[in-house]
């Protein structure tokens, strides 16, 4: 049986895979599971619900809210706000649970549902499994009368609370820095420009006019080209690109060169080590991070720990070791002192703060790390589960590893959110990485 929850919540084509009835059941089951161990009985259990601006979000928010209210949970709707905003507000309001409705970087027709427990923390696999099991045994009748939960349509101060939190988390003035921000026509469209302006930056915002249908449409962190052009056209010091729910941040230097999540982590790790803020001098990254990051960290005397792909696994390692910095190449950067999940806007503020503090350009700061050639091919497949067990795939992997030796590496893994199998190859030379990755992708596609 296929597990309902993927790498980052429940995701699928809205109104087909992710239906109103499914959202209703999810809301009810999550309400039961996430509030059953609450310590306080002085007030009713509460939930925070936010969303990105895609068209299906309103429909799914209504269904989820109804499901939670049917189980006696009061729901506070906070409207369009980044995922890390929902995580923060869940803690700030003292809520028992939080829900973000977003498919992140996926195209507009998709949507997703992410849950947070009290304190704004993502759920471990075991709790997600418990919610999924609870969906199959929901009682026909819920509380009645005064036991039914209320749904409060819009919080008047949610966005202001989040903006104040961002300002307090990165109080360094970035006056004199000109930045172009690509909000992906998503959840950061209002918040990110406001946060950067409040920090003192001169802000040029693009793709910040969501209309319910244009989220991630040839813009944002997965389509960096227009941001690169805009940075050069405006003579900006840097560009910052977010995804649909703004838990990611990628950057562009003044020459239009991409600065990815690995390079951002390298910059922040060095900065935090200098200030004795990098606990145990340790950075947590995933197996997808470039080999160049590990080599750069070794040179700086910083230990790098690797996890499975997914910021939730980075978070688990950060929490287990009480570390202070982690993230993914895709731009999920986690600073646990300030946030319980990746926060793209906070990442942008910290990056500009480092530029302001050192007087160095983004390109100079990124020079701490040499990016080794890395090729990633996404192969559409029908059966993700059977790929790695294929003798043909195993033989192809062994041949690739033998060719690369110690100067590169191979990583094959299923996507947690799409029907894709990801083939990644690193090598000393780009052409070799492309050749090896192409061979592996062809084998995967033929299985």
Q: Which residues are catalytic?
A: 104
Is there a binding annotation on residue 243?
A: yes
Q: CB within 8 A of 90, min separation 6: which ones?
A: 48, 97, 98, 116, 118, 119, 120
Q: Output the six-digit token pair for 191.
A: 């918040």
* 110 known ligand binder: no
Between the alpha carbon of residue 365 and those of residues 268, 369, 371, 423, the distances in Å are 9, 9, 13, 30
Q: Please count the other Cβ atoms lying within 10 Å of the Cβ belonging to residue 239.
A: 31
Burial class, 115, CB count within 10 angstroms (exposed 0-12 / middle 13-18 / buried 19+): buried
- Nearest to 52, CA basis, from 226, 192, 152: 192
Residue 157 φ then ψ, to 5°? -125, 10
361 in a known ligand binding site = no
CA distances from 14 to 60, 111, 270, 417 (A): 9, 5, 42, 14
CA–CA separation, 365 and 363 (whole Å): 5
* Helices and strands (H and E) in the chain: how many: 14, 19
Residue with tokens 């269904």: 63
Token pair 């977010």 is at which residue?
Answer: 242
What's the CA gap between 326 and 317, in Å, rounded? 9
Two tokens, residue 78 = 């906070």
Give the span between the Cα atoms of 301 and 318, in whole angstroms. 19
DSSP class of residue 372 equals: P
Task: Judge whether 104 is annotated as a binding position.
Answer: yes
Residue in 212, 221, 237 with CA at minimum distance from that of residue 352: 237
Q: CA distances (Å), 235 to each of 40, 195, 332, 359, in order? A: 54, 21, 27, 17
Q: Specify whether the backbone of 155 is left (phi greater than 0), alpha (psi in -120 to 50) or beta.
A: beta
Point out the annotated binding site: 104, 243, 245, 247
Point out the annotated binding site for Mg(2+): 104, 243, 245, 247
């Amino acid at each position: 049986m296929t597990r309902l929850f993927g790498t980052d919540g429940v995701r699928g084509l809205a109104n087909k895979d992710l239906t109103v009835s499914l959202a209703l059941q999810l809301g009810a089951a999550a309400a039961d599971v996430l509030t059953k161990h609450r310590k306080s009985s002085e007030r009713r259990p509460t939930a925070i619900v936010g969303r990105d601006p895609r068209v299906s979000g309103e429909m799914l928010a209504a269904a989820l809210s109804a499901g939670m209210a049917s189980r006696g949970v009061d729901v506070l709707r906070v409207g369009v706000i980044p995922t890390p905003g929902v995580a923060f507000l869940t803690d700030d309001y003292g809520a028992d649970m939080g829900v973000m409705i977003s498919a992140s970087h996926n195209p507009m027709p998709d949507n997703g549902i992410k849950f947070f427990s009290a304190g704004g923390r993502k759920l471990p696999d075991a709790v997600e499994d418990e919610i999924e099991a609870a969906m199959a045994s929901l009682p026909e009748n819920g509380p009645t009368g005064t036991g039914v939960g209320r749904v409060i349509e819009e919080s008047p101060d949610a966005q202001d609370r989040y903006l104040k939190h961002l300002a307090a988390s990165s109080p360094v003035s970035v006056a004199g820095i000109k930045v172009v921000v690509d909000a992906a026509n998503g959840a950061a469209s209002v918040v990110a420009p406001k946060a950067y302006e409040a920090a003192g930056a001169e802000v040029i915002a693009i793709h910040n006019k969501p209309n319910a249908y244009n989220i991630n449409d040839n813009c944002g962190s997965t389509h960096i080209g227009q941001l690169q052009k805009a940075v050069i056209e405006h003579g900006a010091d840097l560009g910052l690109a977010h995804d649909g729910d703004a838990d990611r941040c990628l950057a562009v230097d003044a020459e239009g060169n991409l600065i990815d999540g690995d390079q951002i982590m390298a910059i922040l790790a060095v900065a935090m080590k200098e200030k004795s803020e990098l606990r145990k001098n340790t950075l947590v990254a995933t197996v997808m991070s470039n080999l160049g990051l590990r080599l750069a960290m070794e040179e700086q005397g910083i230990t790098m720990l690797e996890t499975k792909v997914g910021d939730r696994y980075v978070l688990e390692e950060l929490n287990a070791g009480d570390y202070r910095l982690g993230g993914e190449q895709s731009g999920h950067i986690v600073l646990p002192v300030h946030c319980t999940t990746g926060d793209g806007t906070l990442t942008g503020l910290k990056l500009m703060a480092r530029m302001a503090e050192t007087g160095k350009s983004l390109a100079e700061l990124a020079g701490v790390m040499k990016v080794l050639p890395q090729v990633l091919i996404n192969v559409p497949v029908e059966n993700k589960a059977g790929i790695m067990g294929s003798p043909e795939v195993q033989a192809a992997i062994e041949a690739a590893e033998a060719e690369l030796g110690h100067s590169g590496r191979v990583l094959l893994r299923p996507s947690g959110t799409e029907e894709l199998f990801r083939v990644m190859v690193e090598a000393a030379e780009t052409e070799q990485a492309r050749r090896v990755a192409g061979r592996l992708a062809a084998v995967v596609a033929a299985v």
